[in-house]
Amino acid sequence: MPVESVFPRLEPLLPSVQKPIQYVGGELNSQVKDWDSAEVRWALMYPDAYEVGLPNQGVQILYEVLNEREGVLAERTYSVWPDLEAIMREHGIPQFTVDGHRPVGAFDILGVSFSTELGYTNLLTALDLAGLPLHAVDRREEDPIVLAGGHAAFNPEPIADFVDAAVLGDGEEIVLKITEVIREWKREGRPEGRDGLLHRLAVSGGVYVPKFYDVSYLPDGRIQRVAPNRPGVPWQIVKHTVMDLDAWPYPKTPLVPLAETVHERFSVEIFRGCTRGCRFCQAGMITRPVRERSITTVGEMVQQGLKASGFNEVGLLSLSSADHSEIGDMAKGLADQYEGTQTSLSLPSTRVDAFNITLANEFSRNGRRSGLTFAPEGGSERMRKVINKMVSEDDLIRTVTTAYENGWRQVKLYFMCGLPTEEDQDVMEIAGMARRVIQAGRDATGSRDIRCTVSIGGFVPKPHTPFQWAAQADHETVDRRLRALRDELRQDKQYGRAIGLRYHDGKPSIIEGLLSRGDRRVGAVIQKVWEDGGRFDGWSEHFSYERWTAGAEKAFAGLQVDVDWYTTREREEVEVLPWDHLDAGLDREWLWQDWQEAVDGGAEVEDCRWTPCYDCGVCPSMGTEIQIGPTGKKLLPLTVVNG
C-alpha cells in the first residue's frame, strides 16, 4: 500500500515556524520514487538542521547510489528545529522525509550519518517523533532498522542502546550489500523476524549489531571484555574500504538547496584517506589508506556536476587536498577550462608545506583572493613535534610572505588547546606566531592593511588514534590558557588590532570527550539530557554544560564512573577500550608505540606515501594498498566552457 504523505497536514502549520522552506523539499536533483515499486526503502538522516545536513557529501552520495538501483528507494530526513518539533507533537505529525514527506517509521531502514557525537540527542528526537521506541530491544518487527554510520560510528557504544546496527568506514558498497540482505529476507517471508534480519547482517562481518555482544566490567569500572552472545557473530567488526574511487564518481547530480546552507558549492572528493600521521587526527587514521581519484575522473565529475547543478563554485575536497599527486595539473586544467566564466575553485585548509603560490594563483585566477587557511595546530615547535605536525614557524612565515607578496591580505591560522603534554607557554607562543605573520605581511606589502585570524578549538582525544589513551585537559585549564592568550593579544598595541581571536570554551569539548570515548553506560546520560530538553548540542546557543553534568550525575549514581573518569583520566596500555572490538585496521601496538613517542618528545613519523611502510597495519590487515599517481594523464581535452 502506498504510504501517505504528511504534507497536507504539515503545510498549513509551516507559516508559524522559522525558515519553513527547509521542510518543503523538491530541490533540484531530488527524487521521489514510487513507493510500491520499491522492495527496499531507506530513510537517510543527517542529525542536524537542513542548512548543515543538506550539503553533507556522505548522505548525498548514498542517496544517489541507492536511488540508481532498481527496486530501491531512498529519501532524506533532517533534524527539525524545536519550534516545529513542538507543533508536530501537538498535531501528531511524525518525523518525515523532505522528499516524499513520508513517515520515517514506514521505511525499512533509517541510516543515520554522524560526523560528530554532539548529534546524539537529535537522534533521540527523531526516533521519538517517528513513533519508534528509543531502545532497540523494544522495537517491533515492522519498525525500521536504525543503522549508524559516519566517523562517530567508529565508537558507537554510547548509542548502543538506541541503534540496531552500525557500519564502519566507506558506505558506497556496504549499503548495497545491506539492501540485498533485506530484499532477500523480505522475499523469504521475514524468517525469524527482526532478530533474523539482524543476525544475517551481523554474521556477514560487515555490520555491527550491539545487542549480539555482551560487555562485562571490572569492579573499578573498567571494561573486562566484550564478547559475542550468538553463534556465527564475529569477535571483531572490520571497516569497509572502497578501493577504486574512479568507479564511484558520486555525486553526479548534486542536490541544490532551497534554503541557505553552510556550503553552497559543488564538492568533489579528490582523494580519500591521509597518511601524514598527525597523532590527534581521527579522520586521517580511520580513512587509511590514501586512494586518489584520477585527474580525468575529477575533471569529468566537475563538468557533469556543474552542468547538473548550476553552482558557480567547485570545492576540491579531501583531508589534505594539496597533497594529491596531480594537484598542480588539476588546478591548471580546471582554471583553464573555466577561465572567463563565473566559476571559481576552492581548496579547504592547506598544509603549510604543501602550499605553493603557483597552485594558489590557479585557484584564484578568476580574481577571487579569499583568505588562506593554515593549520599549525600546536602553538610551539615542541607541541608540533608531540602531535607529529612537523611544520616550523619559519616555514609558515616563508609561506605567508609569498602569499602576501602575491596579493593576499588575510590569513587564518587554526590551533588546538589542551593537547597532551601542553603547558601554558605552548599556548602563549601562538601570540608570537601571529605577530610574526602580521609583520611578514607588512614587510612584504608596505601596507598596514594586513589581517590574521587565530581560531582555536579544544582538543578531544579520539578513538583509533595514538592519543586514545591520553588524559583530556579539564575545561578550567583550557579556559585559563585561552583567557591569558586573549589578554596578551588585547594588550598588544602594535599588532593586537590586526589579530582576530576566535575560540571555543572548554566545556563543550569535555562533553564531546565523554561521548567520543564513552561506553554503553553513557547511553543513560544521553537519554537523561534529551529528556531534560537537550537538542542541537553542536550549536553553542543550544548547548548546556549544566544539563549534561546533571544528567551524568543521575545516570552514573551508584557506578564507579563519572565524567572525569571518561575524560581527564589517562588509560593504561592493558585497559580494554570500548571500541577494541571494532577494527579500523590500525595495529593497536603501533598506536601505543606512537603514543609513547609523543609523550617522550615526539619522534617524527614520515608520510608513508613517499617513504617505506612503517607498519601501521592497515594495508595488510584490510587487504588494501595506497593508490596514488601521477598517472601522466591531463585534464584536457574537455570542452572549454565559454563565459
Q: Look at 365 and 405; give whichever has higher pLDDT.
A: 405
Q: How far apart are CA 65 and CA 59, in angstroms?
A: 10
- CA distance readout (Å), 47 to 98, 113, 148, 618: 14, 7, 11, 30
Residue 636 has pLDDT above 80, yes or no: no
Taking residues 253-279, report their average pLDDT.
93
Mean pLDDT estimate for the chain: 94
Q: Note the pTM of the prediction, 2 decimals.
A: 0.96
80-94, 328-342, 444-458, 475-489: segment of lowest average pLDDT: 328-342
pLDDT in tens, 181-215: 999 999 999 999 999 999 999 998 789 999 999 99
**538-547 per-position pLDDT tens digit:** 999 999 999 9
CA distances 542 to 77, 86, 210, 522, 546, Å, are: 21, 16, 30, 20, 12
- Phi/psi of residue 511, each to 5°? -70, -40
Distance CA 585, CA 577 (A): 15
Residue-wise pLDDT for 344-382, tens only, equals 888 876 778 777 778 878 877 765 666 788 899 999 999
pLDDT, tens only, 298-324: 999 999 999 999 999 999 999 988 899
pLDDT above 70: percentage of residues in the chain:
98
What confidence tier does 632 reach under pLDDT thresholds 50, 70, 90?
confident
Would you say residue 641 has pLDDT above 60? no
Question: 391: pLDDT confidence band, cut at 50, 70 and 90?
Answer: confident
pLDDT at 640: 53
- For 360, phi then psi, to 5°, come to -60, -40
Grid cell at residue 277: 600521521
pLDDT at 569: 98
Backbone angles phi, psi at 188, to 5 degrees: -80, 5
Residue 194 burial (C-beta neighbours within 10 Å; 0-12, 13-18, 19+): middle
526 conformational bin, left if phi > 0, alpha if psi -120 to 50, beta if neither: alpha
